[in-house]
A and B are shown apart, each in its own frame.
Chain A
Amino acid sequence: MRKVTIIVMAAVIVLFLASWILKAGAFQGEHDHYIIRGFLVTFAAFLTLAVMSFLYQDNPYYKFAEHLFVGVSAAFWMCMGFWTTIVQNLVPRLSTSLADFFEVPQRAEGLNFFFYTPVILGILLLLRLSRKIGWISRWPLAFIVGTTAGLNFIRYLRSDFIKQISSTFVPLLGRDWEGIGAFFSNLDLSATGQLVMMVSNWVIFLGVFCGLIYFYFSREHKGVFGAGSRVGIWILMITFGASFGYTVMGRISLLVGRITFLFRDWLELI
């Protein structure tokens, strides 16, 4: 181990202990378990800084935080899957004695033997652990993928296809068109005004029309078709740009949350 690494590690340990002692002291009188609370706040701050150190480069502190996070989360979801899905949802529907054994309340609707189907499929899925009969695990996989693909086909056809068509049937002149004279004499620039409605409806129409051309794969994008396709990709890119800015603002609020934790809950500077 390099000398610099040892010095940095020693400094981190000293800082950690100092923070723990100071935080525990600060919590004394406020909380019953002030030593544990002081440790938890210090440990949370350490993990936050360890993850942020990745911005510099990969390092042992980041690795520690990463492995801890991955290990704990994998175990957590394993427990959650067992206790919430199998024990709480499945067991009370299958057997009263099993429900009593796990001390989970009976379902008001009683037993439902239909739920043996996922049990059987789950057991078949686990057969992949066997070399000899592992091929049987393909059946439940085929069932899951095939069934859901079929169900999604109808759902998407309705929500993404037909509703898209009907949502494009918009009045291109806005609502209540009463002629050009009336339009200009009552020009309303508000969000619900006729001009804005008209522009909005034209953008919807052209966006759908040119977007569909861009996603048409059976023909080369040249000539008029290519021009329509280019308009389509421009509309897509403008949309993505707006979405990008909106999401980045959301991420900054997450960063502010962590910075607030460090400076308020840990360092108590703000």
Chain B
Amino acid sequence: MKLKLLVLCLLLSCFSVASAQEGTSPPEDTLLFDSTLLPAPVTNLVAFDTENDHGHAITLEWEISVDDGAGKQSVAMYEVFRWVPDLMTAIPSFRDTLDYLKLRTSSSWSEPEPGSRTDSIHSVFAKLDMAQLEQKKETLERTIGQAIRDLPAAHAAYPENGSWQQVAVAPSGSVTAEDVGTKEKDSPDYLPDYSDFYYRVNAVTADPDIRTPSEIFGPVQSYGQWFNLGRLAVFVFVMIFGFLTIFFVSHARRGADLYVRPLAGIEAVDDAIGRATEMGRPILYVMGLGTADQIATIASFTILGRVAKRVAEYQTKLMVPAYESVVMAVAQEVVKTAYYDAGRPDDYKEDIVFFVTSLQFAYVAAVNGLMLRELPATNVYMGKFFAESLLLAETGAVAGSIQIAGTDEIAQIPFFIVACDYTLIGEELYAASAYLGREPILLGSLKAQDWAKAAVIILVLAGLILANLGVGNDWAWANNIVDFFRVVD
């Protein structure tokens, strides 16, 4: 069974490789031309691991062809080729088949367009039932995992079972090129570290069929260094931001009055809690569908703490339906602490924060039902929201509740704006937690963020000037500064 699947995938991969090469790769060597037309090859080709990076990249250097800018002056460009084992070219086809099997076994499966690549795969698997498809999916997942692990061995088998593939192009006059892959194993550009690579460079004339290959260089391996200078900008900004945060936190701790402009949505929270108390109706706090590791959810915990403390002081009822179990556990701790801080530990009940379900629209159905049956005076939506935002906010509006929302999910903010009384847009949600808490740590970090934003404004202006003037005037130093911000992934 496994063997059949492997053979099938290899056949599919041959199809894709053949079609890919047809479109992109010219013939490897040219021997059918008058040798006087052929340019001289590049000489002294060397390849080595690119320094100060995260690996997965090789730098090549050579001495230009004597016909480049001199001699016959026939060299138009250089093409860099790497020897690639068949196993590596087969992996994308394995993935295509796996993607098909995943789609086929999901609820979103629909018949593919006739003649498409999915259709050609479908024709092979069309008669299999769901159990067989699942089994094939698992087998293929294991096959791909094993194939990726076998890549170093496949490279070591040079020159057996492989072919030359173009990986980079350099204009005439160039003496260097880089073969940059990715570390993502799921990517078609994945370049495995600690594998033996072999390279050659073709000197190509204006007629792409006339070319002269260099001598082959190899083996050479890529590997990561301790410091990746491509991310220097991240390091610099982490240090600056860390310094600013520590500075402002210590400043706030010494009692400095750090100004934060009023946020209408947050000012309304206290009024809304007061309204609920006067009406004798509960407050509904919805944390959205985010998990505990998302920044919006973490900000929501802080706001929940503040709301819960006020609710405890006013002895109003609070309801917090949770979508995710870890969020529920953290929210319970937050609310419990708030009740203790308010001096009312006896009023705290475990079921203030309760789990509903982890299915999006089932959660919405439950919360909507809760709104219409409990008729909360105030609905607070803070956190990560997706397609359910309008369903919740509309129902809340129908129930006559005051509604305050905040999310950093850009696509959902419009729905909250049209259906809620107050909306915190994007970063206002993070600022709200600092504004409400007035704690030195939160205020200090908010101030540091503001300074960072001021720095961004200045950098954007300076960068724009350099990018617009520097490029036109060939100012190398200006281009270097602009490149500093182009972070390598």
Interface residues of A (CB under 8 A from B): 51, 54, 57-58, 62-63, 65-66, 69-70, 72-74, 76-77, 105, 108-109, 125, 128, 137-138, 141, 144-145, 148-149, 152-154, 156-158, 161-166, 168-173, 177, 205, 208-209, 212-213, 215-221, 236-237, 239-241, 243-244, 247, 251
Contacts and interface: CB of A to CB of B under 8 A. Distances in A.
B298 interface: yes
A108 B468 contact: no
B471 A171 contact: yes
A168 B238 CA distance: 20
Interface stretch (B75-83, B281-289, B308-316, B425-433): B425-433
Contacts of A70: 356-357, 362-363, 365-366
9 contacts: A54-B368, A69-B365, A74-B358, A152-B295, A158-B234, A168-B464, A173-B468, A240-B413, A247-B414
- The winner among A51, A69, A72 for most chain B CB atoms within 10 A is A69
B61 interface: no
B429 to A, nearest CB: 11
Closest CB pairs A-B (n = 7)? A148-B293, A73-B359, A244-B414, A73-B362, A166-B485, A240-B414, A169-B467
Interface of B: 138, 142, 145-146, 149, 231, 233-234, 237-238, 241, 258-261, 263, 292-295, 298, 326, 329-330, 333, 355-359, 361-363, 365-366, 368-369, 372-373, 387, 390, 410-411, 413-415, 417-418, 425-428, 431, 435, 446-447, 450, 452-454, 456-457, 459-461, 463-464, 466-468, 471-472, 482, 485-487
Contacts, number: 177
The B interface is mostly helix, strand or loop, or mixed, namely helix
Nearest to B242: A153
User: Which of B142, B259, B460 gathers the greatest number of chain A CB atoms within 10 Å?
Assistant: B460
Given A128-B329, A219-B261, A166 B487 contact: yes
A90 B461 CA distance: 51
Given A77-B357, A168-B464, 6 more contacts: A69-B361, A171-B468, A209-B457, A216-B450, A218-B259, A247-B414
B456 A215 contact: no
Contacts of A158: 231, 234, 487
Contact of B145 (A108, A138, A145): A108
Contact of A217 (B295, B298, B431): B431
A218 B487 contact: no
A169 B485 contact: yes
Nearest to B446: A217
Contacts of B149: 108-109
